[in-house]
Structure 1
Amino acid sequence: MIETVVASALPVDEMMRIEKNRLEPDHPVERPKRIVIVTGTHGDELEGQFCCYEIIRRIKEHKEYLNGIVDVFPALNPLGIDTITRGIPKFDLDMNRIFPGNLDGSLAEYTAYQVIEDIKGADLCVDIHSSNIFLREIPQIRINEETADRLVPLALKMNVDYIWIHAAATVLESTLAHSLNKAGVPTLVAEMGVGMRITKDYGYQLTNGIFSVMKHLGIWTGPVDAVRHPIVSTDGKVAFMNAEASGVFVPCVNHSNKVKAGEHIGDIISPVTGEVIHSVDSPVDGLVFTLREYPIVYEGSLLARILGGVD
């Protein structure tokens, strides 16, 4: 059933609506558990759109296995998606920086408040993000170290390649995930792919993980695929590689490759002089889990993240 969670009037007789698709079992279930799938908080992150489609399609195909409630929010920032804008257009706001919102606030704050109120009480929320247009990410779950004890056991069932436990100091309190975790709703942040694109293989991978965790919670009783065994690490194991010069970055390794310390990662070149401005080498043995997608770089631009200690 399609439900409108928030509706607000816009200029020129238009309406901004945030909708969800609620899927419920056809048979009676005493005290059914509820999972919430959220995506589209940033208008340029589209990987989650395919996941929403695939989750709903699979449930409709085998409704007999549904034993709980699944709420799917495909577009928390519909104006951003419609205008190919990361934030909320005209407000110059990143929607993931205004939670938990304010009932008496601006349109953005009011919207954030209503979303939080609707999700409260769920047994699990999965907040799906893509990377931006500049970087490509392997499927991963990111967790605040303060909630790691509660969330890592759930994340291990999500079929991702990597679980990154962030230091509390690096986690913004105004995000949807932080606000929901604080409100008592276990919330996993999934990150994968690249901005403005859909990577179907990643979509299938994460969808399989969502069905796996649904089965663990008793929301899904049908068969599920075996999940991958992810690497789990903290911030201290991640090496950041930043550009030491401006130019065009041309990588010579593939995303998700394993590399050795000193191995050549790529070059920053000058199309004007025909020279290599900077040769980029890996500082550690490890896994390239983030790689620059957009080639134009400036001094300080992130080129790659490498998870050290991975053989």
Structure 2
Amino acid sequence: MLQEVVSAHLPVGEKLAIQKNRIAGAHPEARRIAVVTGTHGDELEGQYVAWKLARLLEKKRDRLHGTVDIYPALNPLGISTIYRGLPGFDLDMNRIFPGSSTETMYEHIAQGIVRDIAGADLCIDIHASNIFLREIPQIRINEKNAQELLPLAHFLNMDFVWVHGAATVLESTLAYSLNDMGTPTLVVEMGVGMRITESYGNQLIYGIFAVMNHLGMLDEPFIPVAPPIVSTDGHVAFVNAAESGIFLPRVSHAERVEKGQTIGIVSNPFTGEISEKLLSPISGMVFTLREYPLVNEGSLIARVLGGAAS
């Protein structure tokens, strides 16, 4: 059932409305999870998850104990215009939570979203990468919430869990705000901007059903999932370009590399020269890889998950 979460008036008599699809089974008050996506208008991986999850849950409604709220588009204007931020404001929506009733229109919207999700037994906040980078399916957790969130993250069927240092996590994100209010929230990152990777979406949906089963929300046989690799900041190495040019990869996404192996080259189309060879600083798996070929000095090329992770 579609429900309006919060709305605000726009010019020319129009209205900005955030909606959710509420799918309730037997005893809907028993448990509630929220699946949210579309905070950034150029991240479309979650659109596939929202669509297919709703279709599958409708078929499982007689086995559903509790409620699943699906929020396909927290930033509907951004999605409709393929604009990453908030159109007309040049703001990142994931930098204005938990919102306010006395500030801008979008802060009012943000506050309404947080109030609607708050109190859920679990929130899954789905993101894709931007148009420049491709990410393998992963969960990112603030280290201050790791003790509570890691057990839930193990059910979500992602390839690995990256536990971030608290100093690197922005307090104005949706996930930080909800976790700070006591609503467990897992951030999923996968795929690439402006694209849909169906295999990644299906992998996550499988995990959502597994965590629902764990929470007693789905009356069907337990769905086993592979345990993820758990990593901390100390296990992750970054590869950045020192030169501008065209990046040409020499490894595949999710490939294992050895220390000193060539990740790719930066080519100079004007001179025909190789401006730079980019080498892996550690042995491990390339979990982030540059998708967009044009790079400038300092551009992120890859992240490598070191073999020390467990």
Q: What range is the shorter-chain TM-score in?
A: over 0.9
C-alpha distance after superposition, 1:33-80 (max 9, x if no partner): 000000000000000000011111111112111111000000000010
Q: Equivalents in 2 of 1:310, 1:247: separation in Å?
A: 33
Matches for 1:60-99 after TM superposition, within 5 Å? 60-99=58-97
Deviating 4+ runs (over 6 angstroms)? none
2:4–2:19 CA contact under 8 A, matched in 1: yes
2:28–2:66 CA contact under 8 A, matched in 1: no
C-alpha distance after superposition, 1:116-153 (max 9, x if no partner): 11111110000000000000000000000000000000
Other structure's SS at 2:12 match: coil
How far the C-alpha of 1:223 sits from its partner, in A, is: 3.8
Other structure's SS at 1:58 match: helix
Equivalent residue for 1:40, pick from 28, 38, 41: 38
Other structure's SS at 1:110 match: helix
Q: Equivalents in 1 of 2:28, 2:83: separation in Å?
A: 42
Matches for 1:116-127 after TM superposition, within 5 Å? 116-127=114-125
1:133–1:294 CA contact under 8 A, matched in 2: yes
Q: Equivalents in 1 of 2:115, 2:12: separation in Å?
A: 29
2:39–2:75 CA contact under 8 A, matched in 1: yes
Paired amino acid for 1:41: T
C-alpha distance after superposition, 1:89-113 (max 9, x if no partner): 0011111000000012211100000
Equivalent residue for 1:103, pick from 101, 104, 107: 101
How far the C-alpha of 1:222 sits from its partner, in A, is: 2.3
Paired amino acid for 1:3: Q
Q: Which residue of 2 aligns with 1:16?
A: 16
How far the C-alpha of 1:7 sits from its partner, in A, is: 1.6
Paired amino acid for 2:82: I
Other structure's SS at 1:236 match: helix
Matches for 1:56-205 after TM superposition, within 5 Å? 56-205=54-203
CA RMSD of aligned residues (A): 1.2
Other structure's SS at 1:304 match: strand
2:28–2:65 CA contact under 8 A, matched in 1: no
How far the C-alpha of 1:21 sits from its partner, in A, is: 0.3
Q: Equivalents in 2 of 1:236, 1:221: separation in Å?
A: 40
Other structure's SS at 2:297 match: coil
C-alpha distance after superposition, 1:253-281 (max 9, x if no partner): 11000001111111100111111110111
Q: How many equivalent residue pairs? A: 309
2:284–2:306 CA contact under 8 A, matched in 1: yes
Q: Equivalents in 1 of 2:288, 2:308: separation in Å?
A: 14
Other structure's SS at 1:57 match: helix
Q: Equivalents in 2 of 1:85, 1:221: separation in Å?
A: 40
Could you state the TM-score of these two structures normalised by the residue count of structure 2?
Answer: 0.98
Q: Which residue of 1 aligns with 2:282?
A: 284
Paired amino acid for 1:221: D
Runs (5+) with no aligned partner, structure 2: none
2:235–2:308 CA contact under 8 A, matched in 1: no
How far the C-alpha of 1:226 sits from its partner, in A, is: 2.3
Other structure's SS at 1:280 match: strand
Other structure's SS at 1:12 match: helix
1:258–1:310 CA contact under 8 A, matched in 2: no
Q: Equivalents in 1 of 2:57, 2:200: separation in Å?
A: 19
Q: Equivalents in 2 of 1:17, 1:119: separation in Å?
A: 16
2:28–2:67 CA contact under 8 A, matched in 1: no
Could you state the TM-score of these two structures normalised by the residue count of structure 1?
Answer: 0.97
Matches for 1:209-224 after TM superposition, within 5 Å? 209-223=207-221
Q: Equivalents in 2 of 1:43, 1:82: separation in Å?
A: 7
Matches for 1:236-247 after TM superposition, within 5 Å? 236-247=234-245
Q: Identity of paired residues, percent?
A: 58
Runs (5+) with no aligned partner, structure 1: none
1:22–1:69 CA contact under 8 A, matched in 2: yes
2:158–2:207 CA contact under 8 A, matched in 1: yes
Paired amino acid for 1:307: L
Q: Equivalents in 2 of 1:30, 1:105: separation in Å?
A: 34
- When residues 310 and 248 of structure 1 are mapped into structure 2, their CA distance, relative to the original with a 3 A threshold, is farther
Q: Does 1:54 align with 2:52?
A: yes
Q: Which residue of 2 aligns with 1:231?
A: 229
C-alpha distance after superposition, 1:4-44 (max 9, x if no partner): 1112111122211100000001x3x2841000000000000
Paired amino acid for 1:86: R
Paired amino acid for 2:139: I
Q: Which residue of 2 aligns with 1:248?
A: 246
